[in-house]
Structure 1
Amino acid sequence: MSFVLRVIINGFAIWLATVLLSDGLQIVGADSTSEKVLIIGFIALIFGIVNAVVKPIVQILSIPLYILTLGLFTLVVNALMLLLTAWITGFTDWGLEIEGFWWAVGGALIISIVSFALSILLPGSRK
């Protein structure tokens, strides 16, 4: 249940990031609202899988950079995970398009803040 809740939280955070940064982050392939919700759900699922599988490996390999930047490198890693998600969905007719690295950093910042805030507010999402 916790993974499903995390996917829903990430989906909302991704949607908010695409609304706030609409020049650099777009959801493509949706003609209607219901299609957009479904596509955001799939993007959030892929983002969750990327964060569960790839992110721990990248974090371990970049421990010196985390130490050197006092943890600020987390934002770069989150941006890279968002770019990887966009790259994976780029092989389909739907997905997430990001215009560049700095748009990914902005999106990662918004997604991190929203995910953190919603995880605090919703019981059972931090387990």
Structure 2
Amino acid sequence: MRFIIRTLAAAIALWVSIQLLDGIRITTETNSVNYWGTLLIVALIFGLINAIVKPIVKALGCALIVLTLGLFLLVINAAMLLLTSWISGQFGIPFHVDDFWPSAFLGAIIISVVSWLLGMIIPDGD
């Protein structure tokens, strides 16, 4: 149940970033079932990347994270969003992030803030 709630929260955060930024988009019809299905699949991919790849990158970039007082985490989050876009493209999923700046960087900030707000609202059993 916790996994489903986190995936839905990630989908909502991705949806907000798609609405606010022109450089992040899903290229299917907005009101179709395919759009919302694609959004859930992208949220799953994003969650898997954050669970598997992100800890490795954070461990390798630990010195930069400390040196920049945590600001390098924004770069890592943006890179994870770009990786999600690339993997989605490899599977033929119509999710695209145009470039690192401003799309991925600002998108990562939006997704982080929305996920944090949803985490405050939705209890996760901890």
Deviation at 1:93, TM superposition (A): 3.0
Distance in 2 (CA, whole Å) between partners of 1:29 and 1:79 is 23
Deviation at 1:104, TM superposition (A): 0.2
Who is 1:28 aligned against?
27
* Partners of 1:65 and 1:73 within 8 A in 2: yes
Change (3 A) 1:29 1:60: same
Change (3 A) 1:95 1:42: same
> Alignment partner of 1:97: what SS?
strand
The 5 Å alignment of 1:1-127 reads 1-21=1-21, 23-30=22-29, 32-102=31-101, 103-124=103-124, 127=126
TM-score (norm 2): 0.93
Distance in 1 (CA, whole Å) between partners of 2:40 and 2:14 is 10
> Alignment partner of 2:90: what SS?
coil
Distance in 2 (CA, whole Å) between partners of 1:50 and 1:120 is 23
Change (3 A) 1:71 1:12: same
* Partners of 1:17 and 1:25 within 8 A in 2: yes
**Structure 1 unaligned residues grouped into runs of 5+:** none
TM-score (norm 1): 0.92
Identity between Structure 1 and Structure 2 (%): 43
CA RMSD of aligned residues (A): 1.4
**Structure 2 unaligned residues grouped into runs of 5+:** none
* Partners of 1:89 and 1:95 within 8 A in 2: yes
Deviation at 1:77, TM superposition (A): 0.5
**Letter paired with 1:49:** L
Distance in 1 (CA, whole Å) between partners of 2:28 and 2:86 is 15
Distance in 2 (CA, whole Å) between partners of 1:66 and 1:55 is 13
Deviation at 1:92, TM superposition (A): 3.0
Deviation at 1:33, TM superposition (A): 2.4
Moved over 4 A (4+): none
